[in-house]
Amino acid sequence: MGRRKESTTSMRLPPQHQGLEVKIPSFFRCPISLDVMRSPVSLCTGVTYDRASIQRWLDSGNTTCPATMLPLPSTDLVPNLTLRSLIAHWSNSAASSCSPLSCSGVNSGGVSPAALVRQVAAEDGDPASALRELAAYLSDDDVDEFEKNALVGAAGGAAETVAAVLRRKGEKEVGVEGAEAAVRVLAAIVAMDGVEEGNKRRVAAGLAVDGAASAASLARVMGGGSGLEARVDAARLVEFLLGNVGEDEAREAVAESPELVAELVHLVGAVDEKGNLDASASGCSPAARQMASELLKMFKVNAKSCLAGYDSKTTHIMPF
């Protein structure tokens, strides 16, 4: 096979650059979508694809390499950092004010993720809208893992800033809507495979700065959130916090929170006059009720003796 010629296209450039012809090297294109790759990853066959395209191919049940049609003994996707660097350098040269990679880091309103974090950090307004946009950005499979980790793990980054939202008290305390949006962001961070463990632990560390205030906010979301997903996300953060924070004082503050215990009971089921639980009245899935039940078992025992010995490596509470 001969080498494909470089193609010419206007690409996705900002308005001031629309109409310009840009030569795209063929090996910068994904073999599936034929678009410039945002997050190039390689299969075991050595062929590189854009992460979103090859993931869709694999999720559809295919077990072969699209380009070579060879069977795949492994479906691991290895980031091609060299090619990613070349594409970034080329795209910056083609249009310095807006490359495909940098544009992917700007939402539809033209606000960068870093700017959203700064909006959340400002305590003079409602952070709910910015938090929802952050959650959407972090949940976007097309966003490169390196960009997500940079946003989450930086000093004063998303993990620390959003955790601080749940610690606000008094006049600065956010409403249920803002707290729910913050929980959504933090739950997305701890659930994503692409986020480094050290960056995930920043979530627990941020919440543990004031365990009592964090527990109160999580309880408010579990009690007044917009739906089951929000309540489960809050419960998952409770589990993550207990399993990843090193300070006994923070663990005790969470485990001894009467608001959290009450909401976990409600998550398990309604209580009748005799004190018996009616699981069918909770409106939750059996898996969600099981998660809440396991958390309640942890809360029942003395915080100092039980939580100090809580082993997150052997106890796993998954809602689904």
Q: Where in the chain is the domain with CATH 1.25.10?
A: 113-307
Cα separation, 30 vs 24, whole angstroms: 12
Is pLDDT at 254 greater than 80 in this prediction? no
What's the CA angle centered on 77, arms 75 and 83, to 5 degrees?
145
Looking at domain 7-103, its CATH class is: alpha beta
Residue type, 15: P
Q: Give the architecture (CATH level 2) of 113-307.
A: Alpha Horseshoe (1.25)
Over residues 154-167, the pLDDT tens digits come to 777 899 999 999 99
Write phi, then psi, for 138 (nearest 5 degrees): -70, -25
Q: Indicate whether this model's pTM tops 0.95.
A: no
Crossing angle between the packed helical segments 197-208 and 176-191, to the nearest 10 degrees: 150
Which one of 10-19, 135-144, 160-169 scores highest in mean pLDDT?
160-169
Whether residue 230 contacts residue 180, with contact meaning beta carbons closer than 8 Å, is answered with: yes
Q: What is the mean pLDDT of residues 103-107?
A: 49
Average pLDDT for the chain: 75
Alpha carbon 146 to its chain centroid, in Å, reads: 13
The answer to whether residue 316 scores a pLDDT higher than 50 is no
In this prediction, residue 193 carries a pLDDT of 81
SS3 of the chain:
CCCCCCEEECCCCCHHHCCCCEEECHHHECCCCCCECCCEEECCCCCEEEHHHHHHHHHCCCCECCCCCCECCCCCCEECHHHHHHHHHHHHHHCCCCCHHHHCCCCCCCCCHHHHHHHHHCCCCCCHHHHHHHHHHHCCCCCCHHHHHHHHHCCCCHHHHHHHHHHCCHHHCCCHHHHHHHHHHHHHHHHCCCCCHHHHHHHHHHHHCCHHHHHHHHHHHHHHCCCHHHHHHHHHHHHHHHHHCCCHHHHHHHHCCHHHHHHHHHHHCEECCCCCEEHHHCCCCHHHHHHHHHHHHHHHCCHHHHHCCCCCCCCCCCCC
Bridge partners for 29 per DSSP: 36
- Hey, what are 97's tokens? 């004010």
Looking at the predicted structure, is the pLDDT value of residue 33 above 60?
yes
The CA distance from 209 to 204, in Å, is 9
Residue whose C-alpha is closest to residue 305's, from 260, 256, 265: 256
Between the alpha carbon of residue 156 and those of residues 162, 165, 253, the distances in Å are 9, 12, 24
Neighbouring residues of 118: CB distance < 8 A, sequence distance ≥ 6: none
Q: What is the CB-side half-sphere exposure of residue 6 using CA atoms within 13 A?
A: 7
The pLDDT assigned to 57 comes to 93
For the chain, what percent of residues have pLDDT higher than 90? 28
Could you tell me the pLDDT band of residue 7, with boundaries at 50, 70 and 90? very low
**pLDDT band at residue 132 under the 50/70/90 scheme:** very high
